[in-house]
């Protein structure tokens, strides 16, 4: 299978939990699928049908740090001039909160749309991942021919939630899967399994019969570890 391989690197990023509003903003340790969708749309310069593409990725960072930020609470000025349509005033002063940041993030994104190569070589909008100020740069954009094998390694990636029954070396998480901008930014959520430690497949996954051992796509250009290459598990943004 031919896929588009994009390597993006930045200084900081943060993927805020959507239900934390005040005082503390923790971060997911992997970019949610909804963030990946927005990243792709930014390169294309348009919203696209979420059924058009499947994705896999490998994401790392060097450190996790805490940053103190402030929010200015604004409100319309009741004494504004009629000639000024909106004149905000400060309301309630500053609202300090702690935000968790991921330092030196690096994303290797695989898309089953090799025809989008030129869009990522010349992205329509500024390249960001996470917040609008978390600027990234593409260090590699290429077409890769994937291969298949039962013997791969998985690490620093997002896996289907069902993976929890095969290994304890990871954790389950509920993430925003896709945000429908045509329906008032209606979000959909999905359970996933995050893995950081390297899993040698099938050795580190508990399958009860040989027939259950899956065949993985893998990147032949990835570093070889004990004769294995980086395995990839592709996700979709919505159900078929």
Q: Residue 69 belongs to a domain with what CATH number? A: 3.30.70
Give 175's DSSP letter: E
For the stretch 116-126, pLDDT in tens is 999 999 999 99
CA separation for the pair 5, 216 (Å, rounded): 17
Asked if residue 101 is part of any domain, the answer here is yes
142 Cβ contact list (under 8 Å, min separation 6): 4, 5, 117
For the stretch 90-102, pLDDT in tens is 555 677 888 999 9
153 Cβ contact list (under 8 Å, min separation 6): 198, 199, 200, 201, 225, 226, 228, 229, 230, 231
Count structural domains, the chain.
1
Q: Give the rounded distance of the alpha carbon of 39 from its chain centre.
A: 8
| Residues shown for the chain | 240
The reported pTM is 0.89
For the stretch 29-54, pLDDT in tens is 999 999 999 999 999 999 999 999 99
Asked if residue 239 is part of any domain, the answer here is no
Q: Is the pLDDT of residue 181 over 90?
A: no
For the stretch 212-232, pLDDT in tens is 788 999 999 999 999 999 999
Residue % of the chain over a pLDDT of 90: 70
The residue range of the domain holding 217 is 2-232
Q: Is the pLDDT of residue 105 over 60?
A: yes
pLDDT band at 78 (very low <50, low <70, confident <90, very high): low
Asked if residue 139 is part of any domain, the answer here is yes
Asked if residue 83 is part of any domain, the answer here is yes
Across the chain, the runs of DSSP E, i.e. the strands, are 2-10, 12-13, 24-25, 55-60, 63-76, 88-103, 106-111, 136-145, 147-149, 152-154, 157-160, 171-180, 186-195, 199-201, 216-218, 231-232
Task: Give the strands of the sheet with 171-180, arranged side by side.
Answer: 157-160, 186-195, 171-180
Asked if residue 240 is part of any domain, the answer here is no
Asked if residue 227 is part of any domain, the answer here is yes
Q: In the prediction, which pLDDT does 79 show?
A: 60
Q: In the prediction, which pLDDT does 75 show?
A: 67
């Amino acid at each position: 299978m031919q896929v588009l391989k994009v390597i993006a690197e930045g200084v900081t990023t943060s993927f805020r939990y959507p239900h934390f509003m005040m005082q503390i903003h923790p971060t997911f340790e992997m970019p949610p699928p909804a963030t990946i969708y927005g990243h792709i749309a930014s390169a294309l310069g348009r919203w696209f049908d979420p059924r058009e593409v499947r994705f896999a990725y490998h994401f790392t960072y060097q450190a996790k740090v805490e940053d103190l930020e402030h929010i200015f609470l604004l409100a319309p000025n009741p004494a504004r001039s009629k000639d000024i349509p909106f004149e905000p005033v400060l309301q309630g002063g500053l609202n300090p909160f702690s935000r968790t940041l991921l330092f030196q993030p690096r994303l290797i994104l695989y898309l089953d749309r090799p025809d989008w190569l030129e869009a990522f070589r010349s992205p329509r909008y500024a390249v960001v991942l996470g917040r609008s100020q978390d600027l990234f740069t593409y260090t590699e954009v290429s077409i890769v021919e994937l291969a298949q094998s039962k013997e791969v390694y998985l690490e620093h990636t997002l896996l289907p939630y069902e993976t929890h029954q095969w290994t304890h070396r990871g954790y389950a998480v509920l993430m925003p899967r896709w945000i429908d901008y045509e329906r008032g930014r209606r979000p959909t959520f999905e359970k996933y399994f995050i893995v950081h430690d390297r899993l040698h497949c099938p050795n580190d996954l508990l399958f009860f019969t040989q027939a259950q051992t899956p065949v993985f796509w893998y990147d032949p250009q990835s570093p070889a570890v004990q004769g294995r290459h980086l395995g990839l598990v592709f996700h979709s943004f919505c159900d078929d």
